[in-house]
Amino acid sequence: MFDFVIIGGGIIGLLTAKELQNNGANVAIIEKSSVGQQATWAAGGILSPMRPWHYCDAVNAISSISQSIYQQLSNELLEETGIDPQWVLSGMLILNDDDMASAINWCKANDDSHTLLSTAELATQFSHLKTLHEPALLRPNVATIKPHKLLAALTDYLTRKGVTFFNNHARLLVDNKNTVTAVQLNNRAVKAEQYIICGGAWSSQLIPSSVEQPDISPVKGQMICFPPTHIPSLCMVMDGNRYIIPRKDGRVVVGSTREHTGFDANTTQQAFNELRDFAQQLYPALTDVEPDTHWAGLRPATPNSIPYICRVEPYKNLSLNAGHYRNGIVTAPASAQLMADILLNKKSHLDPNPYKITRQTS
């Protein structure tokens, strides 16, 4: 019998397990495919909402707490496992924002370091970009992390700390007294005091039909990556819904699409071409280089992008930590802390109300 069984081995499940395990609990994670191979694996690893001024306070609050934790988390994982999640203070350059005044006001109000660079300054400081005809906003304190490395480090860390992993599709068994009695796997049932659904885009499929349903749906995102190229800056560049993340090893990640195609996570030639053309146009150095990797993942979308981090009432022993949409990497540490605070009856730094299933959304 475990203290906690977590269903879903993406970033949210893994960090929730870490929080609970650090509090002395006996934790198991059940993952239907390989750990971290779904949305988390697909992510770019930008440690900020792309444009925080477009998000509500509930999203920015968990994002901002997480941003203050990430460097330390990355160092801790490196020290404990020898695997470097590659936290890099790369900075973020935002081009062609249609609402630059709101962006600057948001930065000022939130003490977020920023500079509006003139076209002349851009030509000097970002000479590897195409000629830009409008000023752009630089946020130098935005970091990135490499999701594949973060996943590898976290999995290794949790294994060393004694967290149990089951590789199986999970189904909840419930009685008629609003209690989960076990999680059914193919060949056995696993029991715990408390069960936590961290199933990303699939989370709604696990919620008992008798209770109020969370609104979580899949939104596909496709990404491509160029082989190592010499780009003399690690600064991310955002342009509309597209972005470029230069990695330390010289590879260049380009994202992303936003597609409502249900649970279909196939890649398409059209998206490949669009992302490649966008990158080659912005970075002339990529003109004669072909991307060598192309992948897709399913983001767990919710109304207003606010995740559900709460008990599933009236169930006595069922909770939900899911629905982080485009910000699941950056918001994961604070989401896991809030989930653990709720489960361990601790006072949280965050107001839990905006993250409940019963919240009001406009």
Ligand X SMILES: Cc1cc2nc3c(=O)[nH]c(=O)nc-3n(C[C@H](O)[C@H](O)[C@H](O)COP(=O)(O)OP(=O)(O)OC[C@H]3O[C@@H](n4cnc5c(N)ncnc54)[C@H](O)[C@@H]3O)c2cc1C
Rounded-to-integer distance, Cα 255 and Cα 223, Å: 5
Rounded-to-integer distance, Cα 256 and Cα 163, Å: 34
Name the residue nearer to ligand X (CB basis): 64 or 122: 64
Name the residue nearer to ligand X (CB basis): 135 or 199: 199
Residue type, 140: P
Q: To the nearest whole angstrom, how small is the minimum distance from the Cβ of residue 130 to ligand X?
A: 23
Q: To the nearest whole angstrom, how small is the minimum distance from the Cβ of residue 306 to ligand X?
A: 12
Q: To the nearest whole angstrom, how small is the minimum distance from the Cβ of residue 254 to ligand X?
A: 10
Rounded-to-integer distance, Cα 231 and Cα 93, Å: 15
On the 0-12 / 13-18 / 19+ scale of CB atoms within 10 A, 58 is buried
DSSP three-state, residue 196:
strand
Q: To the nearest whole angstrom, how small is the minimum distance from the Cβ of residue 47 to ligand X?
A: 7
Q: Edge to edge, what strands does the sheet with 308-311 contain?
A: 164-167, 27-31, 2-7, 192-197, 318-322, 308-311
Name the residue nearer to ligand X (CB basis): 37 or 115: 37
| 7-23: burial string, b at 16+ Cβ within 10 Å, e else | bbbbbbbbbbbbbbbee
Name the residue nearer to ligand X (CB basis): 135 or 146: 146
Q: To the nearest whole angstrom, how small is the minimum distance from the Cβ of residue 331 to ligand X?
A: 6
Beta bridge partners of residue 233, listed in sequence order:
none
Name the residue nearer to ligand X (CB basis): 135 or 328: 328
E strand or H helix at 117, and its extent? Answer: strand 115-117
Name the residue nearer to ligand X (CB basis): 10 or 91: 10
E strand or H helix at 296, and its extent? Answer: strand 293-301
Q: Identify whether the C-beta of residue 9 lies closer than 8 Å to the C-beta of residue 167.
A: no
Residue type, 6: I
Give the footprint of ligand X on this chain (CB under 6 A): 7-13, 30-33, 37-40, 42-46, 169-170, 198-202, 206, 221, 223, 255-256, 297, 299-300, 322, 324-330
Name the residue nearer to ligand X (CB basis): 132 or 320: 320
Q: To the nearest whole angstrom, how small is the minimum distance from the Cβ of residue 88 to ligand X?
A: 13
